[in-house]
Each structure stands twice: as C-alpha cells, then as structure tokens.
Homo-oligomer: A and B are copies of this chain.
C-alpha cells in the first residue's frame, strides 16, 4: 500500500506538502501540485481512511440501525426500499453506510452507542427497530447526530410518513366506494399504529361511519398467519364487515387467502385494503388497494437531513418531516 510517505520520497518534498497538494490547499505551487498528483496516480497511491479519521475525527461513515422484533431485517419490503433510497442519497453525498451490529458478537457485545462511538460514525439513522429498547434510547439521546424514521423522539429529527392523512384518505376512499361496514385490523402498539388508529376513528366520525368495537382488532405487523385468524373472526360475526383494512400489505395477503378459502369473492363479497404499497401487491389478483408510501422520499429526506445535521449543525432545523403517501387504487376494494 503506497502512502504519502512514499510519494514524498519519490517527489523529494515533505509529507506535509504531499498532503496539501492532494487536498488542493492553496499554499502549494501549481506545478509542484500537479507533479505530486501525477506521481501519486502513477504510484497507485491509496488514501487511508483510518489515518484520516484518526486525525480529523470525521469518518464520512453513517451508521444504520436496522432491525425489528420479527427479525425481518433487510427483508422488510417497506424498510428495504427506504434504506435503499437512504443509501444512494448518502453515497451521492460522499458518505458510506455501515450497519450497527444488532446480534451479539463473538466476545462481549457493544451497545449501539458504544458501537457507534467505536466506529466513529459521523451520524446515525435509526430505522425499523424497537424504539422502546433502552439501548436505542441511549443512542438517540447521545451526542451523535441522529435521525429516526417513523418514530418521533423528543428534540430529534425524524422522518415520518403521514399516517394520519394516509388513513384518512384510505378510509374516505373506501367510504366513497359505498362501504358502511369497515373493519380495521391494526398493528401492535407504536407511534405509527396510534396515528393510524386515531385517524381511522376520527375519519369515521367525520364521515358518520359507525365502527363497532368488534370491527377493530390487533395483529402483529407483517404476519400473514395472524391476519388470517383475525380475518376469520371478522367473517364469523353476525354482521361481518364489507371491507377490511389491514396493518400492511403482507397481512392483507393473509387476509385475502382466508377470505377466498371460504369461497368468498374479493371484492364482490368482501373488500380488502392494505398499507405500504409493496411491489407484490401490484401483481396479485385482485390487485391490492393500499396506501403507497413514498419510500424514495422517506429515505432521501432522512439522508439529507442527517447529513445536513452533521455538516451544518447550527443551521439545521430540528423537526419532524412528514412524507405523504397516496391511495393506490387497485381492484380489491369494490363498489357497493
């Protein structure tokens, strides 16, 4: 590995001069500078991020905390899309991204914060984790710049999808299609769930839609099997709903299967709505009506905000950025 020392020797100048030449400082003569750059290229100089980081305290590396209770991890469609967008935005701005370890390593495990300090991340993005984990708390409250996605912490930047508007739009759409008996299987408790649920109730009231208690059930996110069971409960009611909303598209798939297995038709007998707008939903029969999240924007916003916070901490506004999704009109919600 050829270092600045080698170049300085080859060029007959000091290491400092090499450093400055390569970094385009303006107290180096232009022909010296050109020559040094030339030689560096010829010798195949490769900079050493560790040395640079040690000296400058900047790594141009962003940590990403990415995991959840179900251990869906990277295979979580919605968050994978967000992460993908986050990644390319960060890369375009000159940052690399490294995952913050979530599994216990060979020897003593580090906490998220310890790990972040160890790697010297310039900033951290928290996505798709259990936000009530004390280690997450510790990380978020630390001195390291942080953005969170889909969860609001006090006095931190967060990027959240507009669950209130999303649920309102979805329910309104369903209502306009003529449905008057709408059930909602919501996810387990979290800020996302709470936003959607209260929006559901609030919108129902606005629309003059009566929602009996037995129409509102809970199931874990992305658990097709659980959604099945809940769906069957709903279908067993004396007056079953004409439309069922699910916590996410995957759950909707599970629900659809339960419905079809009873010989019922979608959307003729029962309508179904998902949430998230994952790709597979477009390809199934009938095409799933859902809220299409703007994952590209979520990821991009998160990266931009975080990098802004890193590079211009004073002028970066600490705020919650809300990203709207929109109703994707498939064919799983029919007219009544």
Contacts and interface: CB of A to CB of B under 8 A. Distances in A.
A105 B93 contact: yes
B88 A84 contact: no
Highest count of chain B CB atoms <10 Å: which of A1, A91, A106: A91
Contacts of A107: 94
Interface size class of A (residues with CB under 8 A): 35 or more
Given A253-B280, A254-B283, A284-B284, A48 B88 contact: no
Contacts of A254: 283
Interface in A51-81: 51, 53-54, 59, 61, 73-75, 77, 80-81
B106 A93 contact: yes
A96 interface: yes
Interface stretch (A112-120, A155-163, A182-190): A112-120
Contacts of A97: 98-99
21 contacts: A46-B117, A46-B118, A47-B118, A50-B51, A50-B53, A88-B102, A91-B99, A92-B105, A96-B98, A96-B99, A96-B101, A96-B119, A224-B282, A224-B283, A250-B279, A254-B283, A278-B280, A280-B280, A280-B283, A283-B284, A284-B284
Contacts of A46: 114, 117-118
A97 B115 CA distance: 13
Interface in A149-203: none
B87 A74 contact: yes
B77 A118 contact: no
A118 B49 contact: yes
A141 B61 CA distance: 26
Contact of A73 (B53, B87, B93, B253): B87
Interface string A253-294: 110110010000000000000000011101111000000000
A298 interface: no
Nearest to A51: B54
A315 interface: no
A104 interface: yes
A147 interface: no
A103 interface: yes
A36 interface: no
A140 interface: no
A83 interface: yes
A49 B283 contact: no
A120 B48 contact: yes
Contacts of A103: 88, 91-92
Interface in A215-234: 224
